[in-house]
Amino acid sequence: MPELPEVETVRRGLHHLITGYRIAEAADLHPRALKAESIAPLATLKGARITGTARRGKFLWITLDRPFVLVAHLGMSGQFLIQEKDHPAAKHIRAQFSLKKTLRKLDLVFNDQRTFGWLSIEQLTDGVPSSAHHIALDPFDPDFDYQGTIKKFAQRKVRIKTALLNQEIMSGVGNIYADEALWRAKVHPESLTSELSRKKLAAVIDCATQVMQEAITQGGTSFDDLYINVNGESGFFDQSLSAYGREDEPCPRCGAPIRRIVFGARSSHFCSRCQRKS
């Protein structure tokens, strides 16, 4: 599933390519493309001018010169793609948008092989669409409460990996970057948050922020073509992973084997020597 670095990469691509364009046509082509809670069909977007983009955690939205926004969640395999006329059409188009700006035209599509992604037209409250109101701020938000987030982690008596994946404590971190952050912080994924020091919890947040920033710089992590950016290009951060997906490979730090365990229906990868359970 795309995590914050992948969603931010898509957002930046959209912001650069489609801001200022007007939506000439908009249509959903699959029964699950539009979220049931959407306040209007996609056709309502006709005539709206795109004024920018925004994101919270793994949610992104396109801002318009209208009292509503177009929200998107990429799910497992959702992609926004610019459809070039001299290239083969994407195979799993769920919604399409015809964009115009003076004499220029763009065809933007929402492609989603596994159909867990969705689009939604929503109003904003305090600058956030309704579907993202329950989502906590991520470390890149200027209003992120660093000390408050440490306190929230410390107050929970859950495994740190579970806490990192809880989007209502700190958003944006998924399975990949949780494993990488914990590896960097030398914390076992099953360590209880209530038993970790404030200093160690701060290190986990710092490492999560660092690893996601590096991933953004490299365009995110791509293991297959289910995640590509707006131009159809893959990210390269998978080549920099130290723990995730590296089962039985030597730890880049100490040489001990990377182990994999499963809890909460998710795999966790960690160093058997560097990340001892507290």
Residue where a domain stops, chosen among 81, 97, 132: 132
Q: Would residue 67 show up in a list of annotated catalytic residues for this protein? A: no
Residue among 2, 129, 139, 189 flagged as catalytic: 2
Write out the residue range of the structural domain in which residue 119 sits.
4-132
Residue 137 placed within a domain: no
Q: Would residue 184 show up in a list of annotated catalytic residues for this protein? A: no
Q: Would residue 2 show up in a list of annotated catalytic residues for this protein? A: yes
Residue among 56, 58, 161, 200 flagged as catalytic: 58
pLDDT one-digit tens code per residue, 183-210: 999 999 999 999 999 999 999 999 999 9
CATH at 108: 3.20.190.10
Residue among 49, 156, 266, 273 flagged as catalytic: 266
Which distant-in-sequence residues (6+ apart) come within 8 Å of 120 by Cβ? 34, 35, 37, 38, 70, 71, 72, 129, 131
Do 82 and 20 share a domain, yes or no?
Answer: yes
Percent of the chain with pLDDT over 70: 94
Neighbours of 40 (CB within 10 A): 12
* pLDDT for position 84: 81
Do 197 and 118 share a domain, yes or no?
Answer: no
CATH at 260: 1.10.8.50
pLDDT one-digit tens code per residue, 93-131: 999 999 999 989 999 999 999 999 999 999 999 999 999
Q: Which helix (H) or strand (E) holds 146?
A: helix 146-155
pTM over 0.85: yes
How is 176-210 classified by DSSP, letter by letter? HHHHHHHHHHT--TT-BGGGS-HHHHHHHHHHHHH
Q: Would residue 159 show up in a list of annotated catalytic residues for this protein? A: no
Residue 277 placed within a domain: no
| Least-confidence region, from 7-11, 14-18, 236-240 | 236-240
